[in-house]
């Protein structure tokens, strides 16, 4: 007997389709697990313990604390499927936290959530899902996977205010064939919370996590200080010609684009942080115009287009250089299969090394991939 494709795209009954759900303990991934369990799939919930439990328990508002592990386990009990907690602390420290600290000290503005998806969730956890003989792995990310002429395509979420495509640009074509994102088509977060209420989940009203999970209350500086003692040493604030204008209390306390809190008085025109030079312990400041960038060098590109990146001299696309900004028109000029120069048709402020530059096909929601900005101001 031949079966029609089920909701996860397999030609067999849900009960014979095993799916591993990556459960953070939040509303989104809990709803995914509950929905698939209700539809009759063979669900296995997996939660990652990513860093020190003792420190995590004391803190609210981020995604990987002990409270969240408890919440994920409770959802699994309520919905009647097995749940495992995997200790990924060492992997997480090596693959995400160490690079975050080094990159921040290098004057960059890192986005550790992307590295976590790339190096932990979609690599190690995905391998674990395959070891468990799962047909696929599902997550609560707000992004869409659509069938295209040449295979699955990555698309931005239907709700642009919830879209997480910026954080998932490094998902490879091979990973995409194995991953599922059941929430990507929903019109709003309210729709997800309504589903949580419908499934009777105790976490239906749980607030969204705001912080990077290992940075309590958004206090980057204290985390970096712990990881890299000496990073808070004071130094000079200089203008773009190198003239000393004042002193600072440690490069880690400043970000590119910052205007307030520089402690330089008596100036007619406001100055902004244009560059951080940790080696010289200098914070370089300049006028607002100095923050505008048109040419953005990008490397470590993950390309998801149908034709190879190098098959065209120039690609007309839209790009995001910050997760909070809408895609803007740009040109990609490939230098190799993994490096390119991106020209922003309208210059943007605050483009910083260490951030991602994500490519979208103009006119629709398709994600064509992206790369890492490696030399900004």
- CATH label of the domain that carries residue 337: 2.40.30.10
Same domain, 82 and 205: yes
Which two structure tokens, joined as six digits, stand for 78? Answer: 């309520």
| 28 & 72 share domain | yes
* Domain-located, residue 68: yes
Sequence-ordered alpha helix ranges (H) in 85-198 = 89-92, 98-105, 112-116, 126-131, 173-178, 189-198
Model confidence at 210, pLDDT cuts 50, 70, 90, reads: low
Give the whole-angstrom CA distance, residue 128 versus residue 221: 34
For residue range 340-366, list pLDDT tens digits in order.
999 999 999 878 888 899 999 987 899
Q: What are 261's two structure tokens? A: 């809190």
Between CA 157 and CA 366 the distance in angstroms is 10
Residue 334 lies in a domain: yes
In a shared domain, residues 97 and 208? yes
325 belongs to a structural domain: yes
CATH number at residue 254: 2.30.30.280
pLDDT 10s digits, 132-173: 999 999 999 999 999 999 999 999 999 999 999 999 999 999
Who has greater pLDDT, 249 or 263?
Answer: 249
- Quote the pLDDT of residue 32: 97
The answer to whether position 273 is within a domain reads yes
**Any idea which of 60-64, 212-216, 285-289, 306-310 has the lowest mean pLDDT?**
60-64
- Asked, for residue 162, whether it belongs to a domain, the answer is no
The reported pTM is: 0.87
Q: Which domain holds residue 247?
A: 232-286
CATH of the domain at 65: 3.40.50.620
Q: Are strands 244-248 and 292-303 parallel, antiparallel or unpaired?
A: unpaired
Residue 145 lies in a domain: no
Question: Do 204 and 319 lie in a common domain?
Answer: no
Residue corresponding to tokens 């190879």: 308
Half-sphere exposure in the Cβ direction for 337 (13 Å, CA): 3
Same domain, 247 and 328: no
Same domain? For 187 and 263 the reply is no
Show which of 261, 286, 311 is a domain's final residue: 286
**Are both 360 and 326 inside the same structural domain?**
yes
Is 153 contained in some domain? Answer: no
Q: What is the CA radius of gyration of the chain?
A: 22
Q: pLDDT value at position 361? A: 95
Asked if 261 and 323 sit in the same domain, the reply is no
Is residue 236 located within the same domain as residue 212? no
Total number of domains constituting the chain? 3
Residues 59 and 80 in one domain: yes
Q: Do 38 and 80 fall into the same domain?
A: yes
CA dist., res. 170 & res. 115, Å (int) = 9
With contact defined as beta carbons under 8 Å apart, do 125 and 275 qualify? no
202 plus 98 within the same structural domain: yes
366 lies in some domain: yes
* Catalytic positions: 116, 213
Taking residue 99's Cβ as centre, other Cβ atoms within 10 Å add up to: 16
């Amino acid at each position: 007997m031949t079966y029609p494709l089920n909701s996860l795209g397999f030609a067999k009954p849900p009960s014979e389709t095993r799916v591993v759900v990556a459960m953070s303990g939040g509303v989104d991934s809990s709803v995914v697990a509950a929905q698939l369990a209700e539809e009759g799939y063979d669900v296995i919930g997996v939660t990652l313990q990513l860093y020190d439990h003792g420190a995590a328990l004391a803190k609210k508002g981020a995604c990987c604390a002990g409270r969240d592990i408890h919440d994920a386990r409770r959802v699994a009990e309520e919905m009647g499927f097995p749940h495992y907690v995997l200790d990924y602390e060492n992997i997480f420290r090596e693959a995400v936290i160490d690079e975050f600290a080094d990159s921040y000290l290098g004057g960059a503005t890192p986005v550790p959530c992307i590295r976590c998806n790339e190096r932990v969730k979609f690599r190690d956890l995905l391998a674990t899902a395959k070891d468990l003989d799962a047909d696929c792995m599902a997550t609560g990310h707000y992004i869409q996977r659509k069938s295209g002429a040449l295979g699955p395509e990555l698309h931005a979420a239907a709700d642009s205010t919830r879209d997480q495509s910026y954080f998932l640009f490094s998902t490879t074509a091979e990973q995409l064939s194995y991953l599922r994102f059941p929430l990507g088509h929903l019109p709003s977060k309210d729709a997800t919370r309504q589903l949580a209420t419908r499934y009777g989940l105790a976490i239906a009203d749980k607030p969204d996590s705001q912080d990077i999970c290992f940075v309590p209350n958004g206090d980057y500086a204290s985390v970096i200080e712990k990881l890299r003692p000496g990073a808070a040493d004071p130094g000079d604030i200089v203008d773009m010609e190198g003239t000393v204008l004042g002193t600072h209390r440690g490069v880690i306390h400043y970000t590119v684009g910052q205007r307030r809190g520089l402690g330089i008085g008596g100036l007619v025109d406001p100055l902004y942080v244009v560059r951080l030079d940790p080696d010289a312990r200098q914070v370089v400041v300049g006028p607002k115009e100095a923050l505008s960038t048109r040419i953005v060098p990008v490397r470590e590109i993950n390309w998801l287009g149908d034709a190879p990146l190098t098959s065209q001299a120039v690609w007309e696309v839209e790009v995001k250089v910050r997760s909070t900004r809408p895609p803007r028109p740009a040109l990609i000029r490939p230098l190799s299969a993994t490096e390119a120069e991106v020209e922003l048709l309208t210059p943007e402020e605050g483009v910083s090394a260490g951030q991602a530059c994500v490519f979208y096909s103009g006119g629709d929601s398709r994600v064509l991939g992206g790369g890492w900005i490696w030399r900004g101001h």
